[in-house]
């Protein structure tokens, strides 16, 4: 996880800033512009910088912190987000946040998770309609029915679900810890069958790692990752010889089988940091490559682009309005929250 505030204090990377931007000494917040110069033109920047300044003022006034998911647009991820990371890192960080207000620059289930872990804090989601096709794919009633069909089989649900669904679950998991959680649950509960919901592809990808446990899956899919095909990967390899392919485990297993590595958004970011491939492609939401590439100007990122329409609902102006009006506040029925929190806490307890 990158601490943006610390990184900004000493960001030496000006060499990849377009010459036009460097030539214009009048650009506001030049130290931040350097971080987004590949995606924002000098002409666009003054308006964006005004929003950034307004948000920074509001953050100070309200003692607010912004958590930003790795899929956020570069002008959010690289400027106003105080803490950035994958779903697991944001869930963990939500526990340690020393602020009165948490703004989730991410999608609704992420804001709910932050609220579950910080019941006394105000948690804001700048656009309450920022959903997720996986979270939409299953309801609490579905889980209750599955529990009747599979009595005694523990339920592990992906963090990409509503609080109501988490409340019906035994454990939560993320793409970053799914294998570890499934192994721990099998051991703790003494079982060799687990309901792993709702992402069919994540379950099938995890299944390959844990042949000793039978995972019963659901038919939920991520609308971004399900669009990648094995042929896409073969075409990318042909068009970009030597490219290292990193895929998110929400991709179909046939796609993951063609990749060199599969992992969460943080896992992919860490792979780039540790292995420094000369040429790489991230088979995931396309803002991810925009954000990771800022840190590695010498690595060539091949960029097929599948955008998550839900993540795109979060904009700088939506964040500013959210802090100005203290909306949309995330509220969870306490009866649901207690049980949902327990499933998230059981996950966080697994190390």
Alpha-carbon distance of 68 to 18, in angstroms, equals 26
346 binds, among ligand 13P, ligand SF4, none (CB under 5 to 8 A by kind): none
> What number of other Cβ atoms are within 10 A of residue 114's Cβ?
25
Backbone dihedral angles phi then psi of residue 83, each to the nearest 5 degrees = -130, 130
H runs (alpha helix) in 213-315: 230-239, 253-258, 265-275, 286-295
Sign of CA dihedral 217, 220, 222, 226: positive
CB of 284 to ligand SF4, least distance (A): 8
Question: Interaction with ligand 13P in 162-181: which residues (CB under 6 A)?
Answer: 174-176
Q: Which listed range, 22-30, 84-92, 232-240, 270-278, lies at the site for ligand 13P (CB under 6 A)? A: 84-92
Sign of CA dihedral 288, 293, 295, 299: positive
Q: Does 270 bind ligand SF4 (CB under 6 A)?
A: no
CB of 19 to ligand 13P, least distance (A): 34
Q: Does 160 bind ligand 13P (CB under 6 A)?
A: yes
Query: Please, which residue, 78 or 175, has the CB nearer to ligand SF4?
Result: 175
Q: Which listed range, 112-120, 130-138, 232-240, 320-328, lies at the site for ligand SF4 (CB under 6 A)? A: 130-138
197 binds, among ligand 13P, ligand SF4, none (CB under 5 to 8 A by kind): none
Q: Which listed range, 85-93, 269-277, 313-321, 331-339, lies at the site for ligand 13P (CB under 6 A)? A: 85-93
CB of 222 to ligand 13P, least distance (A): 5
Instruction: Answer whether the bond into residue 198 is a cis peptide, omega within 30°.
Output: yes
Residue 132 annotated as binding site: yes
Residue 159 annotated as binding site: yes
Look at the block and give the residue holding tokens 């030539």.
23
Q: Does 134 bind ligand SF4 (CB under 6 A)?
A: yes
Q: Does 87 bind ligand 13P (CB under 6 A)?
A: yes
**Residue from 155, 190, 203, 216 nearest 342 by CA:** 155
E-state strands within 160-299: 171-173, 193-197, 214-216, 244-247, 261-262, 279-283
Q: Does 252 bind ligand 13P (CB under 6 A)?
A: no
Question: Interaction with ligand 13P in 257-276: which residues (CB under 6 A)?
Answer: 264-265
176 binds, among ligand 13P, ligand SF4, none (CB under 5 to 8 A by kind): ligand 13P
Q: Which listed range, 38-46, 121-129, 308-316, 319-327, lies at the site for ligand SF4 (CB under 6 A)? A: 308-316
Helix or strand holding residue 5 (H, E): helix 4-9
Helix or strand holding residue 105 (H, E): strand 101-105
Q: Does 104 bind ligand SF4 (CB under 6 A)?
A: no
Look at the block and give the residue holding tokens 């460097």.
22
Where b means 16+ CB within 10 Å and e means fewer, 252-274 reads bbebbebbbbbbbbbbbbbbbee
Alpha-carbon distance of 70 to 111, in angstroms, equals 14
Length of the chain counted residue by residue? 351
Query: Please, which residue, 125 or 308, has the CB nearer to ligand SF4?
Result: 308
Q: Does 222 bind ligand 13P (CB under 6 A)?
A: yes
Q: With beta carbons less than 8 A apart as the criterion, state whether 302 and 240 touch.
A: yes
Helix or strand holding residue 83 (H, E): strand 83-85
CB of 341 to ligand SF4, least distance (A): 21
Q: Interface with ligand 13P by CB under 6 A: which residues? A: 70, 86-88, 160, 174-176, 222, 248, 250, 264-265
Q: Interface with ligand SF4 by CB under 6 A: which residues? A: 107, 132-134, 160, 222-224, 250, 285, 308, 310-311
List binding-site positions for iminosuccinate: 69, 87, 158-160, 175, 248-250, 265
List binding-site positions: 69, 87, 132, 158-160, 175, 222, 248-250, 265, 308
């Amino acid at each position: 996880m990158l601490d943006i505030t610390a990184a900004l204090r000493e960001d030496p990377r000006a060499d990849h800033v377009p010459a036009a931007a460097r030539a214009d000494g009048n650009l506001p917040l030049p130290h931040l512009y350097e971080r987004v110069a590949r995606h924002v033109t000098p002409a666009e920047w003054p308006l964006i910088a005004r929003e950034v300044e307004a948000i920074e003022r509001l953050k100070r006034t309200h003692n607010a912190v912004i958590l930003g998911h790795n899929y956020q647009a570069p002008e959010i991820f690289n400027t106003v987000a105080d803490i950035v990371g994958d779903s697991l890192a944001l869930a963990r960080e939500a526990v340690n946040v020393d602020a009165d207000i948490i703004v989730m620059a991410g999608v609704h289930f992420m804001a709910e998770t932050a609220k579950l872990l910080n019941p006394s804090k105000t948690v804001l989601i700048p656009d309450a309609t920022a959903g997720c096709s996986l979270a939409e794919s299953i309801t609490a009633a579905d889980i209750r029915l599955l529990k009747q069909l599979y009595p005694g089989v523990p339920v592990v649900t992906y963090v990409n679900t509503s609080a109501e669904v988490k409340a019906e679950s035994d454990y939560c998991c993320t793409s970053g810890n799914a294998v570890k959680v499934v192994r721990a649950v099998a051991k703790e509960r003494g079982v060799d069958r687990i309901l792993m919901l709702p992402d069919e592809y994540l379950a099938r990808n995890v299944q390959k790692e844990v042949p000793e446990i039978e995972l019963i899956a659901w038919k939920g899919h991520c609308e971004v990752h399900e669009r990648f095909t094995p042929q896409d990967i073969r075409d990318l390899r042909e068009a970009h010889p030597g490219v290292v392919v990193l895929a998110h485990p929400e991709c179909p297993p046939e796609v993951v089988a063609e990749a060199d590595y599969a992992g969460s958004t943080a896992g992919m970011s860490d792979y780039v940091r540790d292995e420094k491939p000369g040429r790489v492609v991230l088979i995931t939401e396309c803002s991810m490559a925009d954000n990771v590439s800022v840190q590695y100007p010498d690595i060539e990122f091949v960029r097929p682009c599948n955008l998550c329409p839900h993540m795109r609902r979060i904009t700088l102006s939506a964040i500013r309005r959210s802090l100005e009006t203290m909306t949309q506040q995330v509220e969870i029925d306490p009866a649901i929250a207690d049980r949902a929190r327990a499933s998230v806490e059981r996950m966080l307890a697994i190390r």
